[in-house]
A and B are shown apart, each in its own frame.
Chain A
């Protein structure tokens, strides 16, 4: 996971570096074919030609965005330069000792990164020979600034750096690593660097305080190093850029700040604490990932158990609705928390932290929709699971399930069922749930009545090839203005009701190809009527 992000980061940086070269490396070659340049090389003291070439180079430099374009003769002397009119003009300067000049004079392209002799600022030098009749008559050089890369890198919190073939860091997001080497340099190397003053004068090329550990097969290694006051450990990946002779290393903060060696100041402690919180948080995430994996494995087992429980369970539709509400509240609260946290952190927090928070938000919304999906699947069962049911058995079973409640609230139930077999196709548990829910509603409607006045009638009959089931009570019925919305979601007359029971009942009955309706009895009380397709 970490390796992947390192690879990605390396890839992007290599692309940027190659882009920097490829955007500019045609310039010396193209300019070298320009007739006035060849003419000037033939007549180096021609004032008119010098002026022309200076202006041409300046125009080309401006158009290409390169830092400087300049022309050297075979002795390394600058004949013309795009910065001819500025105070730091290269004209007249000698670049005889520059490696790119040596390469180009030898007839090949020279690419060199170093600190400018005249300017003192580092840059990338690309040089190409100007060839006339098979002979190198001069060298054209372009200097490209690396400011844009330095600027980008300065915003990266994890160290990113470039090393040359000697292992010297010449471009780094950590300024104190600049011009330090991974290993002691040989005397030859030191002499060469001194002679060409690649990185300026009087460099010591001190060794980096690095400990490199455990290299895995992807080339990822652990880099332990001092950074500021602390030692830190990074996961690192080094990529070679052979055409430039460079090595790019990208890193990613590995574990945590390793204990400050000396007693840290209060501010350091505070920062440490905040980072610590972040890490604690990350650990929790890791742990949860594992838990999720385990949960998936357990899910299939649980699925089987649930099938069993569905038949044994006494939970009513109303209880189910309350459970759903609770289940949904968890991800919703988490989602809301993450969103508010993101809102208050977005200005101050690291992009990584915000990424995490946003990822969490996405995950929690997925979790919520998964619950909704499960509920839908539960009350809209696959027809494949339908079985032939004797509706009379379904009703008597539902009544049995309510025995405990009927003992608390005594209420006579009169069954008048069709004799013999009245068969429907459907999900036994769900149909039982519907009947249980309707009977419970009937009981609740009569709670405040004296026991002798309470009564619930359950009757079945055939009507137009359908089975009709009626459940009626002796309560006060449903008020006229509410009778139309009684099946709507979140309609409830109970102070703590969720208003989902009847809505779920309707969904279940309609999934079975049936219908549910309600009307009031003339002398008080409500009648719920369910119709279901008969199977003969």
Chain B
């Protein structure tokens, strides 16, 4: 995975809207890849990309929500921004509850330009999180997940396969904290739930 490159995608079935997004983002010196359907987008991405996808909620074929669901099930690290009309706000809100980053109400270009940098920032943070996570050994990843679930050392020592002593769990835990720049269990729990997509990215 390329460490520096964030990709920006636009998925919208409206030709003119895609062109306008291209020109708009081009005018902001952002390169963008456009897709005219959710199907085309999903088949084009590997699921390993870091970046932002601007998804139209209402499309003729696969809906934006469906595309988002598939991204989530693929454990994609892409940050999702929905575009919706006023009448579709409840669905957009639902999507936010399910982990979409934010939404933009059409036709508000300024709002898009305000929210896009935040989404890009989030994408960069995900990329950084991935970098940290990769430094963990497979065993540490396993331990981190269990610690995140709130399991005590003793329990973790028992669950691990092959099992080990609570003392070595403690060593793993210290390593995890130092590698992820985290200071306690709670923080690790929050970090992991914020980066749920990570679990499939572990090597």
Chain B residues within 8 Å of A, Cβ to Cβ: 14-24, 26-28, 31, 58, 83, 85-90, 106-110, 112-113
Contacts and interface: CB of A to CB of B under 8 A. Distances in A.
A367 B87 contact: no
Contact of A273 (B18, B31, B90): B31
- Most B-side CB within 10 Å, residue of A280, A322, A334: A334
A359 B83 CA distance: 24
A528 B84 CA distance: 34
Interface stretch (A14-22, A224-232, A281-289): A281-289
A330 B16 contact: yes
Given A326-B58, A326-B85, A336 B23 contact: no
A333 interface: yes
Contacts of A281: 19, 22-23, 26
A340 B113 contact: yes
A341 interface: yes
Nearest to A353: B23
B23 A337 contact: yes
A173 B26 CA distance: 29
Contacts of A464: none
Interface residues of A, number: 37
A364 B21 CA distance: 13
A69 interface: no
A384 B63 CA distance: 39
A318 B18 CA distance: 28
SS class, residues of chain A in contact with chain B = helix
Contacts of B18: 284
10 contacts: A280-B22, A284-B15, A288-B16, A291-B15, A329-B106, A337-B109, A339-B109, A360-B19, A496-B89, A498-B86
Contacts of A367: 16
A367 to B, nearest CB: 7
Given A344-B27, A357-B23, A336 B89 contact: no
Given A281-B26, A341-B27, A329 B19 contact: no
A341 B26 CA distance: 8
B20 A334 contact: yes
A277 B27 contact: no
Contacts of B108: 333, 336
B87 A333 contact: no
B26 A277 contact: yes
A488 interface: no
Contacts of B87: 322, 325-326, 496, 498
A360 B23 contact: yes
A499 B87 CA distance: 11
A450 B86 CA distance: 32
Nearest to A280: B22
Contacts of A179: none
A498 B88 CA distance: 11
Contacts of A331: 16
A338 interface: yes
Interface string A309-342: 0000000000000100110011111111111111
Contacts of B88: 326
A366 to B, nearest CB: 11
A495 to B, nearest CB: 9
A334 B27 contact: no
A483 interface: no
Contact of B15 (A288, A322, A340, A349): A288
A268 interface: no
B145 to A, nearest CB: 40
Contacts of A288: 15-16, 19
A362 interface: no
Given A325-B85, A334-B14, A496-B89, A345 B20 contact: no
